[in-house]
Amino acid sequence: MTIQATGEANEAVTDRARELPTTCIVGAGCSGFTMAKRLQDAGLPYDCFEMSDDIGGNWYFGNPNGVSSCYESLHIDTSKWRLAFEDFPVPADWPDFPHHSQILQYFHDYVDHFGIREHITFDTAVTDCERLDDHRWRVTLSTGEQRHYDHLVVANGHHWDARVPEYPGTFDGHQVHSHRYRNPFEPYDFRGKRVLIVGAGNSAMDISSELSQRPIAERCVVSMRHGVWVLPKYIDGKPADKASLPTWMPPKLGRALARRKIVKTIGRMEDYGLPKPDHRPLDAHPSVSGEFLTRVGCGDISARGALERLDGDGVVFADGSREPFDAIVWATGYDVTFPFLRQPELTPRDNTFPLFKRVVKPGFENLFFLGLAQPLPTLVNFAEQQSKLVAAAIEGGYRFPSEAEMSATIVADEEEHLGHFYDSPRHRMQVDFATYVADLHREIEAGAERAAAGELVS
C-alpha span between 72 and 59 (Å, rounded): 11
- Strand runs (DSSP E) across 73-228, as ranges? 120-121, 126-131, 137-141, 146-149, 151-154, 161-162, 174-177, 194-198, 219-223
Going by pLDDT thresholds of 50, 70 and 90, the confidence category of residue 289 is very high
How large is the average pLDDT for residues 122-138? 97
C-alpha span between 40 and 56 (Å, rounded): 19
pLDDT tens column, 404-416 = 999 999 999 888 7
Question: How far is C-alpha 162 from the geometric centre of its chain's CA atoms?
Answer: 14
Reply yes or no on whether the pLDDT at 223 is more than 90.
yes
Going by pLDDT thresholds of 50, 70 and 90, the confidence category of residue 336 is very high
Going by pLDDT thresholds of 50, 70 and 90, the confidence category of residue 422 is low
Q: Determine how β-strand 234-235 pairs with β-strand 374-376.
A: unpaired
Q: Which residues contact 162 (CB under 8 A, 6 or more apart)?
A: 177, 178, 179, 180, 330, 332, 334, 335
CB 60 within 8 A of CB 69: no
pLDDT tens column, 15-29 = 444 589 999 999 999
How does DSSP classify residue 59?
G
pLDDT tens column, 71-122 = 999 999 999 988 999 999 999 999 999 999 999 999 999 999 999 999 999 9
Residue 8 has a pLDDT of 47
CB 157 within 8 A of CB 29: yes
How large is the average pLDDT for residues 333-342? 93
List domains and CATH numbers for the chain.
Answer: 2-161+335-457 (3.50.50.60), 164-332 (3.50.50.60)
Reply yes or no on whether the pLDDT at 158 is more than 90.
no
Q: What percent of the chain has pLDDT over 70?
A: 92
Q: Determine how β-strand 137-141 pairs with β-strand 126-131.
A: antiparallel
CB 29 within 8 A of CB 54: no
At CA 380, angle to CA 370 and CA 227, rounded to 5? Answer: 100
Reply yes or no on whether the pLDDT at 4 is more than 50.
no
How large is the average pLDDT for residues 366-377? 88
pLDDT tens column, 258-285 = 889 999 999 999 999 999 998 888 887 7
The larger pLDDT score, comparing residue 432 to residue 169, is at: 169
pLDDT tens column, 342-370 = 999 999 888 889 999 999 999 999 999 99
